[in-house]
Structure 1
C-alpha cells in the first residue's frame, strides 16, 4: 500500500503528469493519431512549464502557508508536549556516520527553540524509515540533532514506526495517551501544517499549530516568470498536500 501511494503521488505531481502526458502523446503518434498526439504533447509541456514558474509555485504554496503564518516564540502558548513531524532530517544510511539535514530541518531547530523557551516539558519526535536503506529511524536522527541543540535525551520520546503523516498522527496519539497528554504544540513545515493539523485533531488531540520553514519569499517580478527546478519541486509538494487533504476528507 505504501508503494502504491508513492506511485500515485508521483503521477499526480506536475512532473509525473507531464511525463505521462508525453508518453500518451508518443503512443497516439505511433498509432497514427497525430493530431491528438500533438495536442497532448503541447498540454504536457504547458503543464510542466506552468508549475515550474516561481509565480505559480509561490501561489499554490502561499495558499497553504498563509493559513499558518510565523508566530514569535514568546507568543506561543504553553502545552503538555511538543510534537515534531519527520521530513527534515534523513537518517544515516548503512555505513554512514551522520544523518543529513534537509530543507525541512527547521522543524527540529524550531522545536528546540520552543523547548528552551519552556513551552512544554516533553518533545515527541515522530518518523520511521526503511531499515533496508537506513541505519536508524528518522525520529532517532532528529533526536541526535536535538541533543546537539541542547535538548536533553530524557526530555524526548521517539515514535519510530510511522512512514507517513497519517501514521505520524495515529502512533503519536497512542504514545501521548499513555502519557496522559492531550494538548500539544505541533511543529512542521508551513505548507504541510493544514493537513497535519487535521490528522492530529482527528485523534482527539488539542492541537496548537506552530508552523516553521515558510518558503514563499518576496522577489523581483522578472524572477517569478523564469522556470526553476526548485519551483517545480515546491509546486509538487504543495499539490501533494492539497490532494492528500481532499482525500482525507
Structure 2
C-alpha cells in the first residue's frame, strides 16, 4: 500500500477533531463531565467551548480570520502573457449525482473549474487538472476533466490523478509540467487556499501566478447593504469559519513541515 494513503486518512481523522463542529464541542463535553467533581474547571471549559463556537460562526470574527488567510488580489491580466499553462486544483466530489448519471465534482471544485475555464478561453493556455482518489474511487481529475470538456467546452491537456493533498498536487503536477517543458503557471484555487497552494507549488520548482477565486471575506469596498443583519451568525458564516480555520491550520502545518 502507498504509505501516503494511511497518512492521508490519519490527517483526515485528526482534522475532524481540530475543525468545527467537533472542535468547540470537545471542551463543552469535557466541561460537562467535570462539572460535578471540578465545578469551576467544568464551567470554564464549557463556556470556553461556547465562546469558541461563537467566534467561528460570527461574521465579524470569521471575516477577520479570513483576511488573515485569503489571497486578497485577483489575477493581474498581464500575468496571463507570462504563463505557459493553467493548473486547476481539485476540491472534492459529489458522489450522489443521478442527474449526471454518475458522480461529479462538488460545488467548490465547480467554482475553480468555472474560473479556470474562463482563463483558458481568454488566454488559450493548455489546462492541467489535479486531484486523485482513494481505493476504488474515480480520481477527481477524471471528474474535473469531464466537467471542463462536456460542460464548459474547454479541452484538458493533462490530468494529474495521484495526489491526495495540496503537497501531492504540487509535486505530481511539477513532474508532469517539467516533462512538458513548462515552468510558469496560472494556479487556480480558492482565495483562502491560495497562499498554502502557492507556497507548495513554488517549493516544487514552478513559477506561480496566483489566480484565486471564491473569496469568502467581506472587504471594505464590498460591505453589504444589510450590514447589521449580516453580522448575525448564519449557515454562510459557519461555513466560512470552517474554511478559514481549515486554512489557518493548513498554513501552520505547512510551516512546521518545511
Interval containing the TM-score (normalised by the shorter chain)? 0.7 to 0.9
Residues 178, 93 of structure 1: alpha-carbon distance in 2 compared, 3 angstrom cutoff:
farther
TM-score (norm 2): 0.85
SS of the equivalent of 2:217 reads coil
Find the counterpart in structure 1 of residue 33 from structure 2.
Answer: 27
Structure 2 CA distance for aligned equivalents of residues 141 and 225 of structure 1 = 37
Find the counterpart in structure 1 of residue 58 from structure 2.
Answer: 53
Q: What's the offset of the Cα at 1:184?
A: 0.8
Q: What's the offset of the Cα at 1:73?
A: 4.9
Which has the higher mean CA deviation after the structures are superposed, 226-235 or 177-186? 226-235
Question: Structure 1 segments of 4 or more deviating over 6 A?
Answer: none
Q: What's the offset of the Cα at 1:119?
A: 4.8
Q: How does 1:1-249 map to 2 (within 5 A)?
A: 1-29=7-35, 32-65=37-70, 67-71=71-75, 73=77, 76-87=80-91, 90=93, 92=95, 96-120=101-125, 122-132=126-136, 134=137, 136-147=138-149, 148-152=151-155, 155-217=156-218, 218-219=223-224, 220-249=226-255
Q: What's the offset of the Cα at 1:21?
A: 0.5
How many matched pairs? 241
Contact 2:131–2:140 (8 Å) recurs in 1:
yes
CA RMSD of aligned residues (A): 2.2
Note the alpha carbon deviations across 1:57-87, whole angstroms, 9 max, x for none: 222112222x342236566333111110001
Residues 49, 4 of structure 1: alpha-carbon distance in 2 compared, 3 angstrom cutoff:
same
Note the alpha carbon deviations across 1:73-129, whole angstroms, 9 max, x for none: 566333111110001x51546985241441442211111111111252x21100012
TM-score (norm 1): 0.88
Residues 9, 101 of structure 1: alpha-carbon distance in 2 compared, 3 angstrom cutoff:
closer
SS of the equivalent of 1:76 reads helix
Higher relative contact order (CA 8 A, sep 6+): 1
Q: What's the offset of the Cα at 1:15?
A: 2.5
Structure 1 CA distance for aligned equivalents of residues 143 and 45 of structure 2 = 44
In structure 1, list runs of 5 or more residues that go unmatched: none
